[in-house]
Amino acid sequence: MTWSIIDTWIVIIGALCAAGCAIPGAILVLRRMSLMGDAISHTVLPGIAIAFLITGTRDPMAMLIGSVVVGLLTAFLVQAIQTLGKVEAGASMGIVFTVLFAFGLVLMRQAVDHVDIDPDCVLYGSIELAWFDQDPEGLGIPRGAIVNGVMLLANLLLFLLFYKEFKITSFDPALAKAQGFHPSFMHYMLMTMTAATAVAAFETVGSILVVAMFIVPPATAYLLTNRFGMMFILAIFLSVLAAIIGHVSAITIPTWFGFSGTSTAGAMAVATGALFLVAWVVSPLDGMLVRMWHLFSTRLHVVREDILGVLWRLEERGQKELLPVQLSEAIGTTPFLVKIGLQILQKRNVVSKTKLLWSLTDCGRKQAATLVRSHRLWEVYLDKHFPQDVHQLHQSAERLEHITTPEMQVKLGNAKEDPHGSQVPADE
């Protein structure tokens, strides 16, 4: 890998662009309007094309105004078709942005003699060439960095200025309206921010990959935190990280297979996706690993209690010890879980092992008695209040016994005998 000043600037521009997108993007994700970002970034194209046709120059200000106007028009039309035409929101967006995008493509083909913009640029952007487009003062800063940097600052400023308005209108628009905030004003301000950000990012990463910058880092952050402010910090951090990983992998990974490199903008989008995948799996809130761990630990908890219950009932009938295989058969679960359960219980000094046979210790006998007491009290309770077949009582009580707290047990009463005729162990 050879790294040069050009690569540094590519990463800086990419990071500025991605961070700038993350701010409106996070609000869009929270409001469940992510696809509005998709629609608006598509309609940047007709905005730019119209601005070209009217002014005849590539004046950035005209481009910005053109795109923001068309972006707002998109937001307005989507709303109008949805409410006036009784069309579902998704379909309404689909209709508006495809038609406007098609219009932009036709305009571009028609104006191909006057302007130097081609569909490829729409797709890839031109971040690789951004370094060569220097600012007029000759400070050595590429124009892309200035444009995206200014956009990031503007977004940051607006966000901080309207922090509480954005927060309240995102989570409870009705309350916001009742309290005198203007949800529709905030809506159109967000749309303006989105459109302006999309046009600034357009030259860098192209009109479709902007969507990745808008949606993916905020969605990733959403998986990682429950706090509003933290989500924005994380989203910005993740988008900068994605920009760095994206460019580095764009110039390294293909070389392992003998290719020279690939599209940086595309790789940045893939990098955001990769970060999302990582968060999806390892998020401490509800990532897949955490979910699996919860499931596993709950099952283990139940198995441990079932072991105690089985051993206690055994003693009730005069037998004292069991093989692990017999236990797993009695509980109806895998030997593996029983083995782990037994080991944990042994460590807690609740069961003891003599040769291959397991039995309860004194301490374990107490715990097991409480559990069986809950079970049998539940059977009494259910039999009394929800009369049913006596055999079904056991199934319901089997579930309830694991979630019964001591306070609940007290409220279940003081019966001496369960509906099957077994003694209820005394409360200790």
**Smallest separation, CB 187 to other proteins (Å):** 15
Nearest-angstrom CA–CA distance, 2 and 265: 19
By beta-carbon proximity to other proteins, the closer residue of 112 and 157 is: 112
By beta-carbon proximity to other proteins, the closer residue of 278 and 400 is: 278
Q: With contact defined as beta carbons under 8 Å apart, do 364 and 350 qualify?
A: yes
Nearest-angstrom CA–CA distance, 30 and 26: 6
By beta-carbon proximity to other proteins, the closer residue of 208 and 342 is: 208
Helix (H) or strand (E) holding 110: helix 89-110
**Smallest separation, CB 199 to other proteins (Å):** 17
**Smallest separation, CB 76 to other proteins (Å):** 15
**Smallest separation, CB 65 to other proteins (Å):** 24
Nearest-angstrom CA–CA distance, 148 and 254: 28
Under the rule (CB under 8 A), what is the footprint of other proteins?
29, 32-35, 37-38, 42, 81, 84-88, 90-91, 93-95, 98-99, 101-103, 105-106, 109-110, 112, 119-120, 123-124, 208-209, 211-212, 214-216, 219, 222-223, 250, 254, 259-263, 265-270, 272-273, 276, 280, 286, 288, 291
Q: Which of 13, 18, 11 is nearest to 155 (CA)?
A: 18
Q: With contact defined as beta carbons under 8 Å apart, do 213 and 201 qualify?
A: yes
By beta-carbon proximity to other proteins, the closer residue of 291 and 294 is: 291
By beta-carbon proximity to other proteins, the closer residue of 29 and 44 is: 29
Nearest-angstrom CA–CA distance, 276 and 274: 5
Nearest-angstrom CA–CA distance, 211 and 88: 21
Residue with tokens 């305009």: 107
**Smallest separation, CB 385 to other proteins (Å):** 30
By beta-carbon proximity to other proteins, the closer residue of 262 and 422 is: 262
- The b/e string for 289-312 (b: 16+ C-beta within 10 A; e otherwise) is eeeeeeeeeeebebbbbbbbbbbb
**Smallest separation, CB 56 to other proteins (Å):** 18
